[in-house]
Structure formats: structure tokens, C-alpha cells
């Protein structure tokens, strides 16, 4: 039996709520140390928090480093639960209480432990995304701004490109230093259409790929179509949610695979020939490509020749 500890995370503070107590600590190293000190005295502690734009990351890492089970919830689920309970007010203590009540009624599973190299890889991939977004914005400004500032914009693009190359070098170093990551990178990039960036993204943001079933994998990435039926009405199925970073990388990979991959190309073209819209066919190609990646990795683990 776990002792549930709900934490409402904000930029500067952590509002903690258990069955009998509620208190606040700062969202920094000292505050986390105080929290760990208190929950270390509890029986089978289980920490539950919401995803809060990255502000929860230090809490999750601290708990996993101390081998304390921790679960990170989608805040939409908790808000929908609060609405179903008739709770309209929103304060940190109320949010923490709702997280606790939600946790009591749901069968929550703790996050899988994340290794140091995976945390490093995710951090570097996040930074790479920041830089590529900066470059895209500056290139847009270059097209629709006055010539007077073009030199400044071009200068910024050059600097950010140099930083991007450095980050990508660090990503390759992290992967190269760990045989586990290097072997999986080689397997994925051997698939036609899957480039280095797609493989990095799968390694960093979908580490549980080899541990879960294919249906769960597809749903986790957000490529599983959900029904929209009611009575005699039969609506179009749509994909919802999932890990957008992985989905974005797979979209780019599937576009290449739909032209060059000997398995994905005829599958994609067959869907288009049967009248499927381009985007619908592309999502199906992404799904097939993801399942293929998973199969190749599992075959590698089992020693099956690829």
C-alpha cells in the first residue's frame, strides 16, 4: 500500500498534499531536499505531479535519483476530473487536493527510471529544438524585413547555426559513449527513410519502445485513430494527443520512406490509389514505420538476423 503524495508544481513553489497534511516548499534544491527528508519517513511513498511546462522536471529527477516512485499526469485529465467533481475554483491547495483525489481513484503507474545518458540526450534534443526554431524564425524575418537589418539577421543565423552544430556534436558524443544507444542508432538508421535526427528523437523521447506492445506504442506516440461514433452516426476516426516530438520526427521520416522505402512506398501509394486523403495515408505510413522500427529493435535484442 502506497502513501500517496500529491504535488502541485509551479515555477517557484511545490504545494504538497497527503491524506492528513498539506505544506509548501520552494521549487529549488533546498525545497526538494526538505521534501525528500519528509517523505523518506513515510511508508512506501508514491509522488504524483502534473506536467507543468518543465517546472516539474527537477522534482521527477530528484525522486528517481532517490528511487521514490513518481508519476507525471497530463494536467487536462486532472482538470476534467475536477470539473466532474463540480470544483470550479483553482488554487495551489485545491489543485494539490484534486491531484490526490484523482490518484486515489485511478490505477496510476510510476514512470520508468531514466538513465543519466537518456536525461542528457533529452536535454540536448530540447536545446536542438530551441535552436532550429530560432533559425526558422530568423529566416522568416529575413524574407519580410527591411534590408537595413538583413546583415544583423544573417549574423544571428550564422551564430545559431554554429551553436546547433556544437549541440549535435554533443548528441553524437553522448550516443557514441554508450554502446546501448549506439547499437540502437545503427539499427534505426539502417531503415530507409529513418535519418539520424529521427533516430535521436526515438532514442531520447521513446525509451520504452522495446518494452511495450505495438498498440500501446502507436497510442503513446499519438498515431492511434480513435472512433467518433454515436448512435447511427459514424464519424471520421482521428488521432489525438501523444508525444508530439516523436510524431513530428516520424512525419519527416515517413515522407522520405513513402518515396524510397520498398515496404512503406507501395503501402502508402496503395492507400492513395484507394482514395485515402494524403494526410490520412501519411499517418498510416508513420504508424507502419514506427512498428517497423520497434520490430527491428526487438529482433536485435532477440538475436534474430535483420
Partners of residue 5 on adjacent β-strands:
47
Enter the C-alpha cell of residue 73.
499526469
Length of the chain: 306
Q: What are the start-end ranges of the H helices in the chain?
A: 29-39, 57-65, 75-84, 92-105, 116-144, 150-176, 179-189, 196-205, 214-221, 244-260, 264-273, 278-302
* Contact criterion met (CB below 8 Å) for 236 and 228: yes
Q: For the ranges 62-66, 155-159, 171-175, 232-236, which has the lowest average pLDDT?
A: 232-236
Residue 257 φ/ψ, nearest 5 degrees: -65, -35
Nearest of 250, 243, 249 to residue 51 by alpha carbon: 243
The CA distance from 202 to 51, in Å, is 20
Pairing type for strands 45-50 and 3-9 reads parallel
The CA distance from 22 to 38, in Å, is 12
Task: Provide the pLDDT for residue 236.
Answer: 72
User: Residue 305's pLDDT band (boundaries 50, 70, 90)?
Assistant: very low
Which residue bears the cell 495551489?
92
Q: For the ranges 7-11, 81-85, 227-231, 268-272, which has the lowest average pLDDT?
A: 227-231
Task: Provide the pLDDT for residue 233.
Answer: 67
| Residue 191 clears pLDDT 90, i.e. is over it | yes
Instruction: Show Cβ contacts of residue 142 under 8 Å, excluding neighbours closer than 6 positions.
Output: 150, 153, 154, 157
Which DSSP string do the residues of 185-215 spell out, in sequence order? HHHHHTSTT--HHHHHHHHHH-TTTTTS-HH
Average pLDDT over residues 78-99: 93
Task: Provide the pLDDT for residue 304.
Answer: 46
| Residue 39 clears pLDDT 50, i.e. is over it | yes
Partners of residue 26 on adjacent β-strands:
13
Q: Rounded to whole angstroms, what are the CA distances from 41 to 34, 61, 111?
A: 12, 19, 22
Tens digits of residue pLDDT in 192-232: 999 999 999 999 999 888 888 999 999 999 998 776 766 76
Enter the C-alpha cell of residue 253.
521520416
Nearest of 138, 143, 172, 129 to residue 157 by alpha carbon: 138
Residue 9 DSSP symbol: E
Nearest of 97, 108, 81 to residue 16 by alpha carbon: 97
Tens digits of residue pLDDT in 257-277: 999 999 999 999 999 999 999
Task: Provide the pLDDT for residue 301.
Answer: 72
Mean pLDDT across the chain, nearest whole number? Answer: 92
Q: Euclidean distance between the first and final Cα of the chain, in Å? A: 44
Helix (H) or strand (E) run with residue 228 in it: none
Tens digits of residue pLDDT in 156-175: 999 999 999 999 999 999 99
User: Residue 241's pLDDT band (boundaries 50, 70, 90)?
Assistant: confident
Tens digits of residue pLDDT in 110-143: 998 888 899 999 999 999 999 999 999 999 999 9
Nearest of 62, 15, 18 to residue 37 by alpha carbon: 62
The CA distance from 305 to 40, in Å, is 47
Nearest of 159, 231, 238, 245 to residue 203 by alpha carbon: 245
Enter the C-alpha cell of residue 67.
528511487
Amino acid at each position: 500500500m502506497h502513501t500517496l503524495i500529491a504535488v502541485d508544481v509551479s515555477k517557484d513553489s511545490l504545494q504538497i498534499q497527503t491524506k492528513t497534511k498539506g505544506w509548501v516548499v520552494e521549487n529549488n534544491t533546498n525545497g526538494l531536499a526538505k521534501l525528500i527528508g519528509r517523505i523518506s519517513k513515510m511508508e512506501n511513498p508514491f509522488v504524483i505531479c502534473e506536467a507543468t511546462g518543465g517546472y516539474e522536471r527537477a522534482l521527477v529527477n530528484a525522486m528517481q535519483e532517490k528511487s521514490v516512485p513518481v508519476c507525471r499526469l497530463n494536467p487536462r485529465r486532472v482538470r476534467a476530473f475536477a470539473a466532474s467533481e463540480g470544483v470550479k475554483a483553482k488554487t495551489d491547495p485545491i489543485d494539490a487536493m484534486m491531484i490526490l483525489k484523482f490518484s486515489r481513484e485511478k490505477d496510476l503507474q510510476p514512470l520508468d527510471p531514466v538513465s543519466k545518458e537518456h536525461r542528457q540526450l533529452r536535454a540536448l534534443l530540447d536545446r536542438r529544438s530551441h535552436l532550429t526554431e530560432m533559425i526558422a524564425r530568423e529566416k522568416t524575418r529575413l524574407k519580410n524585413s527591411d534590408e537595413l537589418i538583413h546583415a544583423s539577421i544573417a549574423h544571428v543565423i550564422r551564430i545559431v547555426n554554429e551553436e546547433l552544430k556544437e549541440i549535435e556534436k554533443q548528441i553524437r558524443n553522448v550516443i557514441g559513449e554508450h554502446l546501448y544507444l549506439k547499437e540502437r542508432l545503427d539499427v534505426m538508421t539502417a531503415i530507409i527513410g529513418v535519418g539520424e535526427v529521427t533516430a535521436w528523437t526515438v532514442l531520447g523521447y521513446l525509451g520504452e519502445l522495446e518494452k511495450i506492445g505495438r498498440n500501446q506504442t502507436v497510442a503513446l506516440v499519438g498515431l492511434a485513430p480513435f472512433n467518433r461514433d454515436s448512435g447511427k452516426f459514424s464519424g471520421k476516426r482521428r488521432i489525438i494527443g501523444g508525444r508530439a516530438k516523436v510524431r513530428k520526427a516520424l512525419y519527416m521520416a515517413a515522407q522520405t520512406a513513402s518515396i524510397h522505402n520498398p515496404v512503406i512506398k507501395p503501402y502508402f501509394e496503395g492507400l492513395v490509389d484507394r482514395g485515402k486523403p494524403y494526410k490520412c495515408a501519411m499517418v498510416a505510413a508513420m504508424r507502419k514505420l514506427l512498428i517497423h522500427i520497434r520490430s527491428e529493435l526487438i529482433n536485435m535484442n532477440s538475436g534474430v538476423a535483420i
